[in-house]
Amino acid sequence: MSQSIEVVIPVHDVQRPFKRAVGSALEQRAELSRLGVELRVTVVLHNLGAAAGEVSKGPQAGSESAASTALDGVTWLTCDDGVRSPAGPRNRALDESTATFLSFLDSDDHLEPGSLAAWWKAAQPDSASAVIAPLRTPEGTILPAPASGPLSPPSWMPSRTDWPTGACRTGCSAGQCSQTSVSGTRRGCGPARTSRPP
């Protein structure tokens, strides 16, 4: 398979339900394989010290938890940068990855069944470089992907006359954009839900 998706899960605290996150990714392997897409799952153990070795070993063979926490096919990386930020483990995974697409999943979150295949299919018609997916809150509310539209500076930043005002990445002016969304409708200028490779 020449196409691949890698799901990266940084783990900063072993008390978080990271095995649920890993399982939610691994459960999608067969569906992606049918699409000709290889699934890789990478867990980055961040500033865990000696606990990192125990976590990456998984449960002992024959233990009660061995069957429910099968973590076969997972790549384990460590990142001991001493910084309390998700940037370090994410950058570590980026440095190591050779995947076509990369997805970051927080250790206390999980993927909906079929989500990776749906994102893959959404990216294909436009050969998108990225897909920004909606999120579901624990209460079940769907938070849409960030809205498209003109960019403006945050309220705390002083005004600048050269701040971007809605030109899309191809350089066309506002209202003249010819890019289309995945559904085939004109999306206008500004950040999009998918972006094409340069």
The mean of the pLDDT values for the chain is 74
Q: What are phi and psi of 119, to 5 degrees?
A: -65, -40
At 5-51, the pLDDT tens digits run 999 999 999 889 999 999 999 999 999 999 999 999 999 999 998 77
Q: Which one is predicted more confidently, 184 or 118?
A: 118
Return the beta strands (E) in 64-177 as ranges. Answer: 74-79, 101-104, 130-131, 135-136, 142-143
Kindly report the pTM of this predicted structure. Answer: 0.67
Quote the pLDDT of residue 50: 77
Tell me how crowded residue 48 is: count the other CB atoms within 10 A of its CB. 19
Quote the pLDDT of residue 73: 79
User: Is the pLDDT reported for residue 159 higher than 90?
Assistant: no
At 112-148, the pLDDT tens digits run 999 999 999 999 998 888 888 888 888 888 887 665 5
Q: How far is CA 84 from CA 41, 44, 79, 110, 152, in A?
A: 23, 14, 11, 22, 30
CA triple 149-118-166, angle to 5 deg: 10
At 68-112, the pLDDT tens digits run 344 677 999 999 999 988 899 999 999 999 999 999 999 999 999
Quote the pLDDT of residue 90: 94
Please tell me the CATH code under which domain 3-124 is placed.
Answer: 3.90.550.10
**Nearest-angstrom CA–CA distance, 3 and 122:** 15
User: Is the pLDDT reported for residue 61 higher than 60?
Assistant: no
Tell me how crowded residue 23 is: count the other CB atoms within 10 A of its CB. 17
**Quick one: which of 7, 6, 5 has its CA closest to 107?**
7
Quote the pLDDT of residue 156: 61
Q: Could you state, in order of their start, the residue ranges of all structural domains in the chain?
A: 3-124, 143-198
Quote the pLDDT of residue 150: 52
**Nearest-angstrom CA–CA distance, 134 and 139:** 14
